[in-house]
Structure formats: structure tokens, C-alpha cells
Amino acid sequence: MHDKTIAEISAGLQGRKFSSVEVTRAFLARISQFNEELNCFITVTEGEAIADARAADERIAHGTAGPLTGIPIGHKDIFCTRSIKTSCGSKMLDNFYSPYDATVVSRLQDSGMVMLGKLNMDEFAMGSSNETSYYGPVRNPWDLTAVPGGSSGGSAAAVAARLVPVSTGTDTGGSIRQPASFCGITGIKPTYGRVSRYGMIAFASSLDQGGPLSRTAEDAAMLLQAMAGFDPRDSTSVDHPVPDYRASLDDGVEGLTIGVPSEFFDQDLDSEIAALLETTIAEYQRQGANVKEVSLPNVGFSVPVYYVVAPAECSSNLSRFDGVRFGHRCEDPDDLLDLYTRSRGEGFGAEVKRRILMGTYALSAGYYDAYYLRAQKVRRLISQDFHNAFEQVDVLVAPTAPSVAFGIGEKTSDPVEMYLSDIFTIAVNLAGIPALSMPVGFVDGKPVGMQLIGNFFSEGRLLNVAHRYQGVTDWHLRCPNGFE
């Protein structure tokens, strides 16, 4: 059961080959068998899951089920879930039981999906390795001494180890794609505004976007179908029709023009990763696609732009955690200022504090023009580079990460070194465009991902192009040793 895709589980449920309760119990058993070792889940909601599975079975029996009804899922613990602990990986919210559901959660609940629990993540989604979580690091099922990537590390590792068939994640600078790459699965960051941010705890509001993590592009298409769409509760949600993503999966790639940005394929790229990407591009050529070299001249500024914009927005967003209305409060405050400073000093971990301080500095009197304003201007240049490229090509390819999964503890001493692990993913968030990561091979026994990047609202095309590759390869179906 645990090796099935959600397309297969859906067919089995509709064909009455098994019930949602049976599927749910099978995955709950996987979680109790492996979670202690991997630390993917912060909260397992076994009781609620069985009740939801029973309700799903009734819907299936009454003929009112949709394609996702009865299928288990895990949510990144950044999505608010009513009456269920929503920690965001932080001590600050260790005692927080959200009074409402995020739109993503309620949409998937309405579709009949069965939530198995809340998945581990870097604290407030700030990290590239899942090591900043208050709940401890997640282990990569391909190598238990390696990180799963981050910030959606629990979401990616749980799918790779078959503890859940699919999961939700969020991506501010690569937090869906980089862990998908490190764990050998598929993940897509949709266009900014495609998926509602309501109830998704904010980190950097102009960059944050939720999306699915799955083994196959087809599963990602099914999940995104239910997640996407206009939400009046999110003021940045875009009112744009959601196409049938699954219907276009099999479209041919003949005549598709794939752009290869020279800046991503320079001499600094690991040669074994470069070779796997070249093989993948050659497969698309074999299927009739054209390849064209393009240039993104300002993309090298992405990481510095991001480390102004994201901390600035984070320092503003995280000001709401003040120890007054919810979350951690220090013991016996002397006065109001002491209540604020100690509650925040105790509740936030080191990386979150670093980013709040960096953002506070960048926005403080006298520095705004030099940092935030300048970064927003360079952000425009990066965005224009992509627009220029999409006048010549349909999709771009890029590495997802500069390396395979690195060791736990290997990069924790130098924040800047950790930040550079997102060097290939950040530009996409700055431009607001969609990108997908899919597995294209292995180096040293660990998975390598490749990005497909498209113009605004081209999620259907990206899923289609990934699906065409997955139809003739099996990297996305490989299972880590010990988790078969």
C-alpha cells in the first residue's frame, strides 16, 4: 500500500479495492515504525485521521467522492489547523492551537483528504536543512547522517520514506524544491498568488507560496488542482482560472523550446550534477524539444537581494509574536518592555533572531535606501531577465541545488555558507514565477534534482514536461534502502 501513488490510491478507492480506513491505517503504521528514526512529524493526528477516513469511506459509498477523497496527507506545520498544535517549528508556538484552518487545509479537507499530522520544518521556515527546528533535525531517508533539506524537510523526507503519499510545503527561497531534490521526490512552487496564503504563517510575504510535494508529477498535478484558486481572504491571491492540470500531462514536447541559462551551467557547477542535467536535456531533445542557450545576467545578485528582502519582511511579520495574545510568554516580566524582549528572546531560535536583526537593521532609519530600496530595484532587474528569457523559450532548466544532501551539522557554523545552498532556487521567488524540481539521477547514492522554470501560471506546462520525463525514467520511483 505505502508504495502507491495517489493516482493509484484514488483508483483503488473508487474501485472499492480497499477502504480509506485501510489506507490510513497502513500509513499510520509506517509512521509509528519509522518516525522515531526520521523525526518527520511534530504531531501525529491518529484519532482525527481515522474519523476522517470513515467519513471519506461514506462519501465514496454514497457516490459523492472526488479524486482526492480518502487519500492521506501530511501538512507542513506552518499551515494553521484548527484545535491542532501549529508550531511552525518554533518554541514560540509550542503551545499554539490555532483557532482556525488555513485555506489550503480547509480546501483539502473539503476534498476529502485525510490529514495524518503536522510535519517538521525549519523554525518559521528559515533554513535550508531542517536543523533550525525547535523539534530537532529531520533525517534524510537516503542517508540518515544527511539533512533532508529545508525548510520543508519533514514534508520531503516523509514522502520519500513513504510515511505519507503526498504532503504540503511552502517555498520562500527554495523550501519546497531544495528538499524535494535532496530527498529524490517531485515538488512544485506555484506562481505567487496561485495558492492562498491565508493561515500559512507568514515569513516573507512577497515571496511565500505553498505547494505540493509528491513522488510523481501526476500526483503533484492532482494535489495542486485542489490547493490552487482564488481566495478572498488572501489579499495577494490572484483571481485567475485554474486549468485541469491532469488533462495536459500527456501533451507532447515536440517543438517545445527549453532554455539553458549559461549563468547556472558555468564552471562552478558540480560536474557530476551537470552531467545528469545534460542527459535529461538530451532526453527532451530525443522527444522533439529544441534547446537554446539564454542569459540571466543579474541572477547572480539573487542571494544578496533575498537576504535583504526576506529578513526585512520577516522582521515586520514576526513582530506579532509579542507574548501578549498567543504564543510563548516569559515568566514574571518586570514591565511591558521586559515582557516583549524576554518572551521574544526565549521563544525564537538563533537563525530566526539573526534574520529579524538583519531585517530590523536594513529597515532602520538611514539604511532603508542603501538596503531595502536597492534590493527591490535589483529584484526588478532579475525579474526582467526572466521575462526576456521567456520571450525566446518556453521553459528554463536549472540545477535545483549545488550539491546533494550534505551532512547534519556540516553547515551550521556559518550562516552565509548555508544560504548559498539556495543559490539556484531564490531567483524564482524574487520573480514570482513557478518552478518544479524533479529527480534526475544520483551522485554518491544521493538524489539529484533538476528545476523546470516557467512563466507566470505555467504550472500545467511544467507538470506536463516533468511527466513526459517520468514516463521514460524511474528515478522518481526509487525507494531509499530500508524503507521499501
Partner 1 sequence: MDLSIEDVKKISALARIEIEQQDIDGYVRDLGGILGLVDQLNSAETDEVTPMAHPMDQVQRLRVDQVTEQDQRELFQSQAPQVEAGLYLVPKVIE
Catalytic residue, chosen from 10, 19, 76, 155, is 76
The answer to whether residue 316 forms part of the interface with partner 1 (CB under 8 A) is no
In whole angstroms, how large is the CA radius of gyration of the chain?
21
Q: What SS3 class is residue 447?
A: strand
Nearer to partner 1, 203 or 301 (CB): 301
93 vs 276, beta carbon nearer partner 1: 93
381: exposed, middle or buried (Cβ count in 10 Å: 0-12, 13-18, 19+): middle
DSSP 282-296: HHHHHTT-EEEEE--
Residue closer to partner 1 by CB (options 34, 372) is 372
Taking CB under 8 A as the criterion, the residue among 248, 360, 403, 412 binding partner 1 is 360
Instruction: Name the region of 295 (left: φ>0; alpha: ψ -120 to 50; beta: rest).
Output: beta
| Known catalytic residue at 32 | no
Q: Which of 323, 399, 441, 480 binds partner 1 (CB under 8 A)?
A: 323
Cis ω for the linkage preceding 151 (within 30 of 0) = yes
393-423 burial string, b = 16+ CB within 10 Å, else e? bbbbbbbbbbebbbebeebbeebeebbebbb
Told to check if 18 binds partner 1 by CB under 8 A, we report no
CA distance linking residue 43 with residue 462, whole number of Å: 33
CA–CA distance from 416 to each of 123, 353, 379 (Å)?
A: 17, 15, 20
Give the whole-angstrom CA distance, residue 282 versus residue 273. 14
Measured distance CA(451)–CA(120) in Å, rounded: 24
Q: Is 339 in the site for partner 1 (CB under 8 A)?
A: yes
We find the least distance from the C-beta atom of residue 180 to partner 1, in angstroms, to be 22
- 424 touching partner 1, by CB under 8 A: no
Give the one residue of 14, 376, 403, 473 binding partner 1; rule: CB under 8 A. 376
Contact with partner 1 (CB under 8 A) among 15, 47, 241, 334: 334
Q: What is the 3-state secondary structure (H, E, C) of 195-225?
A: ECCCCECCCCCCCCCEEEEECCHHHHHHHHH
Least CB distance to partner 1 at residue 357 (A):
5
Question: Among the candidate windows 137-145, 158-166, 195-203, 369-377, which touches partner 1 by CB under 8 A?
Answer: 369-377
With contacts defined by CB under 8 A, name the span among 69-77, 350-358, 461-469, 475-483 that binds partner 1: 350-358
Distance CA 304, CA 262 (A): 20
- Segment interacting with partner 1, rule: CB under 8 A, options 37-45, 69-77, 269-277, 323-331: 323-331
Looking only at residues 134 through 173 of this chain, which bind partner 1 when binding is defined by CB under 8 A?
A: none
437 is catalytic: no
Known catalytic residue at 175 = yes
Q: Which is nearer to partner 1, 136 or 345 (CB)?
A: 345
Give the other-Cβ count within 10 Å of 371's Cβ: 21
Are the CB atoms for 114 and 20 separated by under 8 Å?
yes
Count the residues of the shown chain that bind partner 1, applying the rule CB under 8 A: 68
**Interface residues toward partner 1, by CB under 8 A:** 96-97, 99, 192-193, 206, 232, 235-236, 238, 298, 301, 303-305, 307-308, 315, 319, 322-327, 329, 333-342, 344-346, 348, 350, 353-354, 356-358, 360-361, 364, 371, 373-381, 383, 414-416, 419, 431-433, 456
